[in-house]
Amino acid sequence: LPPSRLLPSSRFSVLVSLAGPAPPKMGPSGLLLILVPFILLESVQKPGLVKGFINKAKCDFQERNQCTRNRHCPEKTKCCEFNCGKKCLDLKQDVCSLPKEVGPCLAYFRRWWYNKETKTCSRFIYGGCQGNSNNFQSESVCKSICSQKCKSQRSQSPRLTWATRGGLGVG
């Protein structure tokens, strides 16, 4: 994988033991004793950059968090670590395909957005409110999230599974 690349949604399972390091003794209900202390978590992963696989772009500063938990987000969105802060994101939406949106406020913030047509990150002036998630604090953050995406017809956004819908791994 090239550095700074978003990984497509992948399916994996993690078994977490609630019983501790000692295995349960086998007996008439031994199988039940083995299965009950485990919780199967399927595809529990925060959307965005995956630590350990990717050289994450350095943030110049921590963005103001829009949320702290999923309950602070509108319906169909989740509170996720994204672009140097926590934001309410629709996980089915590709933020890199959104248009540039300066917002209605009159502040003057130099930001970056990903232009899907030219496949480049470009500078723009953000007004400081509203807008959309295709709005990055630096060119390196924009490139790390958008430029190296797989050229595929499938959405690169993570799919919601029963575990993430329950709030695990997101927010």
CATH of the domain at 131: 4.10.410.10
- Give, in order, the Cα–Cα distances in Å from 81 to each of 28, 85, 110: 46, 6, 21
pLDDT at 41 over 90: no
pLDDT at 151 over 70: no
111 in a structural domain: yes
pLDDT at 38 over 60: no
Which residue segment(s) compose the domain that 41 sits in?
A: 13-165
117, 86 in Cβ contact below 8 A?
Answer: no
Count of domains observed in the chain: 1
The phi and psi torsions of 96 (rounded to 5 degrees) equal -75, -10
5 in a structural domain: no
The phi and psi torsions of 136 (rounded to 5 degrees) equal -120, 150
2 in a structural domain: no
134, 111 in Cβ contact below 8 A?
Answer: no
Q: What is the pLDDT of residues 93-125, one digit of tens each?
A: 899 999 999 999 999 999 999 999 999 999 999
18, 39 in Cβ contact below 8 A?
Answer: yes
Compute the average pLDDT of residues 134-138: 92
Residue whose tokens read 């999923």? 70
36 in a structural domain: yes
114, 141 in Cβ contact below 8 A?
Answer: no
